[in-house]
């Protein structure tokens, strides 16, 4: 059996790419989701399997949304997402989109609401 290396690991969840999107696995639990960059980072939880039952309704998936958003941002940071609209890596578009916000916050001393260390490394 071939061992597939995960793209990233977030909070113990190993993330893998599929043709339809992404899925992550952790101790027999799996989570299917999509993540894309088009005028911002978008992500959506599609399905969750807890080892006994599969869930597809939003009312069951709502508790997984923060995890999916965190994983999507990690995929963006690791340059694993593609910007279909601009036909380039999503990280390049993200740098162009976030730079005005970053400079404004640095000039006025406002707090950054994203991963601060990542943004400092991105622009310095």
Digits of tens for pLDDT over the chain (124 positions)?
457 889 999 999 999 999 989 999 999 999 999 999 987 889 999 999 998 999 999 888 999 999 999 999 999 999 999 988 888 999 999 888 888 888 888 888 887 776 777 877 887 7
Tokens 């869930």, residue located? 55
- The confidence score (pLDDT) of residue 1 equals 46
pTM of the predicted protein model: 0.84
Residue 119 has a pLDDT of 79
CA nearest neighbour of 23 among 3, 8, 42: 8
Q: Are 85 and 38 in contact (CB under 8 A)?
A: yes
Q: What's the pLDDT score for residue 2?
A: 55
SS3 38: coil
d(C-alpha 18, C-alpha 36), whole Å? 13
């Amino acid at each position: 059996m071939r061992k597939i290396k995960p793209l990233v690991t977030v909070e113990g969840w190993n993330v893998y790419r599929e043709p339809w999107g992404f899925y992550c696995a952790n101790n027999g639990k799996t989570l299917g989701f999509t993540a894309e960059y088009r005028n911002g980072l978008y992500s959506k939880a599609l399905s969750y399997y807890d080892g006994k039952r599969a869930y597809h309704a939003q009312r069951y998936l709502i508790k997984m949304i923060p995890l999916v958003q965190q994983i999507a941002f990690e995929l963006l940071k690791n340059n694993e997402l593609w910007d279909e609209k601009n036909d380039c890596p999503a990280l390049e578009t993200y740098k162009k989109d976030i730079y005005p916000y970053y400079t404004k916050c640095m000039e006025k001393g406002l707090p950054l609401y994203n991963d601060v260390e990542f943004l400092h490394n991105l622009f310095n």
